[in-house]
Structure 1
C-alpha cells in the first residue's frame, strides 16, 4: 500500500492534527508502508525526510497553526505520478487539501479525508457567526468527493451528519502510555519550576478565544482566598491571547509556553488536577494525555472531550462557560484526596486501553476497503 497525505499542518507544528499525523506516519514507517506527505513549510522545519514535500506558506488568521500554502501544481503532479499512490488522504480543507482532492480526481486515485477541527464553532469566538452558512456550504462541497471521512469522536460524527455529510467513519485517538504516565519524580518537577504550593492545577492548549481561556481565568479568580493561597496554576501553551492572559492573571498562575514530550509529560504527572474549559474540541488529545498521567480532569461537557471523561469516575464534566461549576469541582477534588487518587487510577486504567496501534490498524482496513472498492465494482 502507498499512501499520499495532504495536510496544511504537520510536525513540528504543535496541535492535534499535526501530532496525530506525525504519530500515524511513524506507525506507517514501522510497518514498512510507503507514504509521502505534502505539507507547508513551518517556522521551524525540524522534521526533515525524503517522505515529505514542503511548500512556502503564510499563517491562517483564524488558526495560525494551519498555514495557507502555495503548492507548485506541476511539482505535485510529477511527484504523485512518480510515487503512484494507491490512495490519497486529505487532512485539512485549505490550499494543500484542495490540491490533494484535485489530483485525486485528475489522476483517478481513491480519495479519503479526515475532519479534525470544527471551524464553525470557532466563529462565535471571533464574532464571525455571519459566515457560518458560507462555511458549511464550502465544507460540504469540499468533502463531497471523499469515499470516507474519518472523524475523531461520536460527537463530531453526529454534528456532521446533521449538516448532511455522508460516508462518515469513526477514527478515534490513542495515547502513548510509555511517555505519559504517573511515575515521574514529582518533587524534581516541582523543584525545576520553583513550585512550592501544595496543589498544582494545569491547563494545556492554545491560548486563544476558541479554547475559552477567559473562563479559565474566571475559574482561577473565583477560588476562595483560604484555599487559593495553597494553589499553583501552570498554563502550558501559547497563542494570540497569551499576553492578555498574563496581564490579567493572578499571581499564582505561571505561563511556560509550549512544552513537548517528556517535559510536558512530567507536568501532567506532577499535577493534582487538569482543568480544560474548551467546548470546541473534536476530540481533546490533552485530556487523554492527562488521564494517562494519572491526573483527574475537569472539563467542559461539550465536544469530543465529553466522550473521554467518565463523570465521577475519571473526572468531572461542567457546563461550558460556567466558571463556578468548574471551581466547585476543583474544590471538591482538593478537599477529597481519596476521590482524587481513585480518579487518577481509573483515568490511567482507561488510557492504557486506548492503543494507537489498534486504532491505526483499523484505519488501514478502511483504506484497504476504499482501494479495493473499484475492483469489486468491476467484477460485480
Structure 2
C-alpha cells in the first residue's frame, strides 16, 4: 500500500501527535508499506520546500500562541502534481489545518480515498484562551473537515462515540501505544533522584506535558501545594516546554524543570518518569494523553480524570486513581493520599507497570493498517461497474 500521511506536526517537534505519527509511520514502513509524509517546513529548517517519494514539505506560518509550531499553507495544486507522478492508494490527514484540507480536496479531485484522525480537542481549548463563545463554531468546522473523509479515527471508543453524537460520520477507533522497550521501571536512576535531593523514601511527583494554558495548571499548583504542606520533603518535577514555561517557573519556584526532551531521546524521558513515583495529570482537554500511559509503563502511580487514557486504563485504587471531571477536590485528595503513603504508591506503581502490556504499539499499527485497507477496499468496490 502507498500512503500519503499529511500532518502539521512531526518529529523533531515534541508533542503527542508528532510522537504518535512517527510510531505509525515506522510501524507501517516495517510492514513493507510505502509512506510519504506531507508536512510544513519546521522552524529550524531554512531550505526550500521539496518533493520526494517519502516526503513532501510545504511552506508554513507560525500557529498563534504556539510560535514554535507551524501550520502548512494550502498546497492543493502542488499535491495533485506530485501525486499524479506517484499516486498514493490512500491519503490520511492527521491534522485539520489548511494543508490537511487542501490534501483532502486534492484527493477528491483525483478520486483517491482519504481518512483522518481526531488528535486534538481544539474546540475544548477555547475556554482556556478567553474564547468560550467559539466552542460550537470550532466543533462545526472540525466536523465539516472530517466528514469530507471516508473515516475519522479516534484514540478511544468514548471519544468516537462523542464525535458520532456530534455528527461526525464513519468514526473508527485505533488507539495509542507505548514503546515498552524504552518506557519501563528499569529506567529508574537512583543517582538522578539523589541529584533532586530525594532518597528512596522521598515522594517524587512528576508532570510531563506541553506547557500550555489548556493543561489546567491551576489545579496542578493546588495539588502540589497540598502535598508540600503535608510532605515538606516532597520533590516536584515538571518536564516539557511551551508558551507557559516562564509563568510556571514563576508559579512553581519549588519545582525542578529539566526542560523539553527531544523525541529522539526517549530513554532520557523514560529515566525521568521511572525515577519518579507519582504522575499528576490534571488536563481535561486531551483526546488521549500519551504521557499518562508512558508514566504507568514506567511504574508511576497515576492520578487523572475519568476520561481519555486515564479513564480507559486506570483501575481505581489498583493501577492509579481517577476523579470525575467535575471533581477537582478528589483529584487533589488522590495525589495527597499517594504522597503520604509510601507503600500505597509503590503497590500502585508496580501494578501500573504490570498492566503495561496493554500499551504495546504493534496491535495499534495493525488496527490502523486494517482501517486503511478497509477504506481502500470499499472505495475500489464503489468504482466497479
TM-score class normalised by the smaller sequence:
over 0.9
Q: Which residue of 1 aligns with 2:166?
A: 163
Q: Which residue of 2 aligns with 1:267?
A: 272
Change in CA separation of 1:357 and 1:65 when aligned onto 2, cut-off 3 Å: farther
Change in CA separation of 1:122 and 1:63 when aligned onto 2, cut-off 3 Å: farther
Quick one: which of 336, 358, 378 aligns to 1:353? 358
Preserved CA contact (<8 Å) 1:272 1:295: yes
Using the alignment, how far apart are the partners of 1:127 and 1:317 within structure 2?
27
Quick one: which of 150, 153, 161 aligns to 2:153? 150
Using the alignment, how far apart are the partners of 2:339 and 2:251 within structure 1?
24
Preserved CA contact (<8 Å) 1:300 1:318: yes
Preserved CA contact (<8 Å) 1:203 1:276: yes
Bigger shift: 139-148 or 173-182? Answer: 139-148
Residue 219 of structure 1, CA deviation: 1.3
Q: Which residue of 1 aligns with 2:313?
A: 308
RMSD: 2.2
Using the alignment, how far apart are the partners of 2:292 and 2:84 within structure 1?
41
Tell me the matched-pair count.
Answer: 376
Change in CA separation of 1:61 and 1:83 when aligned onto 2, cut-off 3 Å: same
Runs of 5+ consecutive residues of structure 2 not aligned to the other structure: none
Using the alignment, how far apart are the partners of 1:162 and 1:70 within structure 2?
31
1:120 aligns with 2:123: yes
Using the alignment, how far apart are the partners of 1:65 and 1:202 within structure 2?
24
Q: Which residue of 2 aligns with 1:15?
A: 15
Counting only pairs closer than 5 Å after superposition, residues 87-102 of structure 1 correspond to structure 2 as: 87-102=90-105
Using the alignment, how far apart are the partners of 2:3 and 2:214 within structure 1?
33
Change in CA separation of 1:245 and 1:320 when aligned onto 2, cut-off 3 Å: farther
SS at match of 1:5: strand
Bigger shift: 113-122 or 295-304? Answer: 295-304
1:139 aligns with 2:133: no
Using the alignment, how far apart are the partners of 2:239 and 2:209 within structure 1?
6
Using the alignment, how far apart are the partners of 1:201 and 1:374 within structure 2?
50
Encode CA deviations 1:13-32: one digit per residue, 9 max, x unaligned.
11111111111111122122
Bigger shift: 92-101 or 151-160? Answer: 151-160
Preserved CA contact (<8 Å) 1:219 1:323: no
SS at match of 1:353: helix
Change in CA separation of 1:262 and 1:50 when aligned onto 2, cut-off 3 Å: farther
Preserved CA contact (<8 Å) 1:221 1:250: no
Quick one: which of 256, 259, 272 aligns to 1:257? 259
